Homo-oligomer: A and B are copies of this chain.
């Protein structure tokens, strides 16, 4: 149904294509993709793995500031379950494990590039807006007190 290339076709307004989706559970390709990379640390993990950064667990742990063991493991496991990341256990003592992107992970990384670019180009705009939103949120919180 939702061919994403329609996203930019500024063609004449077609009759409302009633959202007939969800044969498998996703409304469109975009939806599926977002569910796969949604997660507080997944973009960063992807970022490191894609550019050949740290690959061992502990390295990732130290490279990504403020991430906890629980979260890092959790997100890595999900990425692995989703087929984006491959875990290699060398079964040594002390333990040695490293992580890398699968071909699927690499292809996703490539699809993410324009999004990264957009974010960088509009960084000022986006940060400004988020600062505003958070300021407003904290105002409301203080009124509750």
Contact = CB atoms under 8 A, between A and B. Distances in A.
Contacts of A112: 4, 7, 26, 30, 114-115
B19 A109 contact: no
Contacts of A26: 43, 46-47, 50-51, 109, 112-113, 116, 119, 123, 126-127
* Chain A interface size range: 35 or more
Interface in A1-52: 2-14, 16-19, 21-22, 24-38, 43-44, 46-47, 50-52
Nearest to A134: B25
Q: State the majority secondary structure of interface residues on A.
A: helix
Nearest to A118: B111
A117 B8 CA distance: 13
